[in-house]
Structure 1
Amino acid sequence: LRALIENTSIRFSLQMISMHVAFDLAEQDERLPSIILFNAFLAGFASILSTIILIPSIQNCILMAWATLSINIGVIALLSICRTRLDIISAIILLLSIGYSVDFSSHLL
């Protein structure tokens, strides 16, 4: 729709503006995978770094990183089995699962 309006405005020398609520959502959906990937790595790195600083045993740090990784792989697998689209809600679920897995792992260790 935007390309049609741009072509029409160039062709007839008019300034046309189109606006719809779904335009912003479509732009968010295009950028969402890269943003989710960056935020997931950042949250995972921060949780592993804080684990290394606060837990003196390297074996416990490795176990906690493994527990965090396996829980998040399980969440991603469940979302893909249910054929959930990658939207803002599933992004929140993925990022919250990192926090819950760190919390769960820290109580176990």
Structure 2
Amino acid sequence: MAITVQRPNLNWRERMFLPAIAAGLLITLKHFKNMIFRRTKVTMEYPEEKWDANLPEHYRGAPALVRDTDGRVRCVACQLCEFICPPRAIKIIPGEISKTDRFA
């Protein structure tokens, strides 16, 4: 059964997306000002620079798979890979893996 959602009535300013464009422009100008005057970096040059000990406070970590006692990857079906994948190409179906499966 289809659900009908009522659209809010927008005025002419909201229909032209002017507030959203202005907000995006202000964010861009803020980054530009910080880069010029404070010399803060927005992009890290990866092979030359690495985040070893000085991780920024906004860093949330990278997903990693745990290994069991046999050395095999132990996926607990936490759905994190499926959630993080931008094109939604990963589908996780929880289940048991046999001990003899050589690809596990």
**In which range does the TM-score fall when normalised by the shorter chain?**
under 0.3
Give 1 or 2 for the bigger CA radius of gyration.
Answer: 2
Kindly indicate which of the two structures has a greater share of residues assigned to helix. Answer: 1
TM-score, normalised to structure 2's length?
Answer: 0.27
> Which structure has the higher relative contact order (CA within 8 Å, separation 6+)?
1
